[in-house]
Amino acid sequence: MIEARRLHILRAVADHRTVTAAAAALYLTPSAVSQQLTALEQETGHRLVERGARGVRLTQAGEILLSHTNAVLAQLERAEAELAAYGSGEAGTVTVAAFATGIAQVVAPAVARLASTAPGIRIRVQDAEGDASLPMVLDRQVEVAVAVEYRGAPAADDPRLTHVPLYAEPFDAVVPVGHRLADAFEIPLADLGKDLWISPYPGNPCHDVVVLACENAGFQPRFAHSSDDFRAVVALAAADAGVALVPRSALRGMDLAGVVVRPVDGVAPTRRVFAAVRRGAEGHPLIRPVLQALGEAAQA
């Protein structure tokens, strides 16, 4: 009989690619993870992982078991959801991980909605960049992620997750007031190819959006400054340190003295935001109202 707990460990190792990283995500010791993997191999009668200098990788047998693991764990999530519904679980805490502007745009309004529609549900919010929140959901550190699409992100049909689209927003060009294109109604990205750029750090999904948009415009951006705080990005642009692309919602309520904000000419780069939960958990009586409130906040 295969223990479901060991399947969860197998998936964590596959996701993180090292025993040490999987152990840290699961709050276990590396030796405990190794012992559980060994026990799982004994239960299945197959070697499931191969260890090397760069970490571990699944064997073909491990990949076969992983494909079933995703289905099994999703079904267990559904079972927990149905049991909670049977027990009329109308009170409890749901932890939501989201990036800063996502918190302002949809999470905070959802918290306000739930205070009146589902007062028994307490939301605990954690600030996490768009690429960090999905692993937190998979590692069961949080229940809900508000994340953005980025290169390398789990696809919408990933068997481990259920995606709920929330909203999409364009990036606007931010240039110093004295910039040669400051008077333009719209700014073609190709005309910024020789400028210095200000951007979030590599790894931040918004950095990927900037790089891809510039590549599509025919150039590689020359990054002079990096910050994950868009207030800092705008302040640097106001200091004539470079130009930037910033999500429109991040500019709301910001001091824009010293900069000009213009739409991008043509097809604007876009940030697509969605909520994600472990597949099967979307019907949980605590999680379902949270997803609904996030969707209503996004529509509003």
pLDDT digit string (tens) for the chain, length 300 residues: 788 888 889 899 889 989 889 889 888 998 898 898 888 888 888 888 888 777 888 899 989 998 898 888 888 888 887 777 656 556 788 999 999 889 999 999 999 999 999 888 889 999 998 778 999 999 999 999 999 987 777 888 899 999 999 999 999 999 999 999 999 999 999 999 999 999 999 888 899 899 999 999 999 999 999 999 999 999 999 999 999 999 998 998 899 999 999 999 988 899 899 999 999 999 888 999 999 999 999 998
Query: Could you tell me if 19 and 132 lie in one domain?
Result: no
Query: Could you tell me if 205 and 67 lie in one domain?
Result: no
Q: Can you tell me the distance from the alpha carbon of 275 to that of 295, in angstroms, rounded to the nearest whole number? A: 9
Query: Could you tell me if 12 and 132 lie in one domain?
Result: no
Query: Could you tell me if 183 and 38 lie in one domain?
Result: no
Q: Can you tell me the distance from the alpha carbon of 189 to that of 212, in angstroms, rounded to the nearest whole number? A: 11
Domain count, the chain: 3
Q: Can you tell me the distance from the alpha carbon of 177 to that of 33, in angstroms, rounded to the nearest whole number? A: 56
**In this predicted structure, what is the pLDDT of residue 223?**
97
Domain extent, residue 57, equals 4-84
Cβ atoms 150, 123 nearer than 8 A: no
pTM of the model: 0.72
Query: Could you tell me if 162 and 285 lie in one domain?
Result: yes
Which of 56, 84, 112 is at the close of a domain? 84
Query: Could you tell me if 162 and 277 lie in one domain?
Result: yes
Query: Could you tell me if 62 and 206 lie in one domain?
Result: no
Q: Can you tell me the distance from the alpha carbon of 90 to that of 159, in angstroms, rounded to the nearest whole number? A: 27
Query: Could you tell me if 71 and 189 lie in one domain?
Result: no
Which of 84, 100, 128 is at the close of a domain? 84
β pairing state of 55-58 and 49-52:
antiparallel
Q: Quickly list DSSP for 124-168.
A: EEEE--TTTHHHHHHTTS-SEEEEE--TTPPPTT-TTEEEEEEEE
**In this predicted structure, what is the pLDDT of residue 92?**
81
Query: Could you tell me if 179 and 145 lie in one domain?
Result: no
**In this predicted structure, what is the pLDDT of residue 62?**
87
Query: Could you tell me if 71 and 134 lie in one domain?
Result: no
CB-count exposure of residue 78 (10 Å: 0-12, 13-18, 19+) = middle
Cβ atoms 28, 15 nearer than 8 A: no
Closest CA to 100 of 227, 239, 198, 282: 227
Query: Which DSSP state fits 187?
Result: B
Which of 68, 84, 100 is at the close of a domain? 84
Query: Could you tell me if 76 and 95 lie in one domain?
Result: no
Query: Could you tell me if 145 and 221 lie in one domain?
Result: no
Q: What is the CATH number of the domain that holds 294?
A: 3.40.190.10
